[in-house]
Structure 1
Amino acid sequence: MFCTSLRKRPEWATVPNTLLSSQRPRWGEQSLTTHDLAIPIPNQDGSLDTFLFLALSPCDTQPPASAMARIQHLYHHTGGRNIGIVFLLNEKVPTSNGTIALMNLQVSIHSTLEMPIIPLFSLSTLQTTLSNFQYQLVHKRRSAAPTPVQPALSLLPYCTNNPPLPEHARNVVSDICHSLADVARAATTADGQLGLKEWLDPRVAGAAQDIIDFWEEEIIVY
């Protein structure tokens, strides 16, 4: 299911026709008040949950208070259960750095609200992205020992001037930094920069400098 209001939003206006032309899965269109997209999540007992998404892009986060009002409305509508955000990184007419906007959003909601933010690199990959999320969520729920999620570091692969950050570098940084704030401090202080280079350069040359350069961008931390 998707909200008909997407047709009136320039960055998302092509989505309805694309989804309606899909044969599998079949999509419906409806006027929705709390969310933009909804997908079914099968349970082990055969019942279905519905996972609700807001569709946001950098321009949707300006002013920040407007985006937060929508996010909080959805969160309190469901009690924080089965909700998330699909965030379009690359707008037709870029108004800001999509990765920076995504990270600002992640940081702003993490302290009070827990929900996944799924990066979307292109509207053409929306269905694939949602299908992959659906599969991973179903697999996680059926797993006897699901892998814990670290929402605070979920954006780590994109906190570099050369994304995505290589897996080994991600593992090292996540071991020594436990939040985005820790990563920011490491990348913007002399001691932290030295530590990143000592840990990363022997195995992933250049990764530390890419992280440092990325954090030189102007970023709002809430």
Structure 2
Amino acid sequence: MFCSSLRKRPQWESVPSNLLSIPAPKWQEKTLNTHDIAVPIHGSREQEHMRFLLLSASDLDAQEEVVERIERLSLFNEGQHVGIVFLLKEKDAKNGFTAYIQLQTILLNLRFEVSIIPLNSLRALSTAIFVYQRQILHAKPIISPVPPVTILPHCSARGQLQEHTKNVLSDMFHGFSELAVAATTAGGQNAIKEYVPDKDQAKQAIQFWLYG
């Protein structure tokens, strides 16, 4: 289900019609006071739901309201089965990467660990939510995780990233999700090009995430 208030939010106003046009799963429009999207967790007791906030750079202009909404979201099931969908590309071309980092800072200050789902297109919203839900519900614990810093040198479109490039990127971004978002947005690409001294290395790091 989705909240009817999305119709009054300029960056999200097309979401209701997009969701209602999907044959399956069937979406319902309701009044949701604390979140924007809720999807049922199949097989759960008492029909539990996974809840999501939909945010964009424009929403962060009213930061106090965003903080209040995130705090309310954290109260559901002790912060479990919740997520934030963040729209990277707005109609007015606001810098989505800068706002994404701002949102990360807000969550850090709140000490609330919640996944942020980057969204490039509003039409991909339903798919992104259900893919995320499957990943969370079917995630298997990793016994011996590989440190991300050992994988980072291989995240290059050609060859490997140099030691200095690896160190710069690991200092700039807290994990692969942040790096991936940066490499696929204009603001993030400019930041990588600015701080990575070797321009070819910066190009290879960006192209890895753009073209795989």
Q: Same fold (TM over 0.5)?
A: yes
**Structure 1 pair 22/52, CA: closer, same or farther in 2 (3 Å)?**
same
2:137 matched to which residue of 1? 138
RMSD, aligned α-carbons: 3.3
Same amino acid, percent of matched pairs: 36
1:28 & 1:56 partners in 2: Cα distance?
A: 20
Within the alignment, does 1:205 sit opposite 2:201 as a pair? yes
Deviations 1:12-41 (A, max 9, x none): 111111111212101111101000001123
SS at match of 1:158: helix
**Structure 1 pair 132/42, CA: closer, same or farther in 2 (3 Å)?**
same
SS at match of 1:110: helix
1:26 matched to which residue of 2? 26
1:109 matched to which residue of 2? 107
Q: CA deviation at 1:118?
A: 0.4
* Contact in 2 for aligned 1:3/1:36 (Cα 8 Å): yes
Q: CA deviation at 1:47?
A: 7.2
* Contact in 2 for aligned 1:85/1:117 (Cα 8 Å): yes
Within the alignment, does 1:80 sit opposite 2:75 as a pair? no
* Contact in 2 for aligned 1:55/1:86 (Cα 8 Å): yes
1:159 matched to which residue of 2? 182
**Structure 1 pair 147/37, CA: closer, same or farther in 2 (3 Å)?**
farther
**Structure 1 pair 51/146, CA: closer, same or farther in 2 (3 Å)?**
farther
1:16 & 1:147 partners in 2: Cα distance?
A: 42
Q: CA deviation at 1:101?
A: 0.4
1:32 & 1:130 partners in 2: Cα distance?
A: 17
SS at match of 2:103: helix
* Contact in 1 for aligned 2:53/2:83 (Cα 8 Å): yes
1:128 matched to which residue of 2? 127
Q: CA deviation at 1:205?
A: 2.6
**Which runs of 5 or more structure 2 residues have no equivalent in the other structure?**
149-172, 207-212
Q: CA deviation at 1:59?
A: 0.3
Give TM-score, length-normalised by structure 2. Answer: 0.69
2:166 matched to which residue of 1? none
1:9 & 1:33 partners in 2: Cα distance?
A: 15
Q: How many matched pairs?
A: 174
1:97 matched to which residue of 2? 95
Task: Give the residue type in structure 2 aligned to 1:15.
Answer: V
2:58 & 2:51 partners in 1: Cα distance?
A: 21
Give TM-score, length-normalised by structure 1. Answer: 0.66
Q: CA deviation at 1:107?
A: 2.3
* Contact in 2 for aligned 1:42/1:138 (Cα 8 Å): no
**Which runs of 5 or more structure 1 residues have no equivalent in the other structure?**
166-183, 211-222
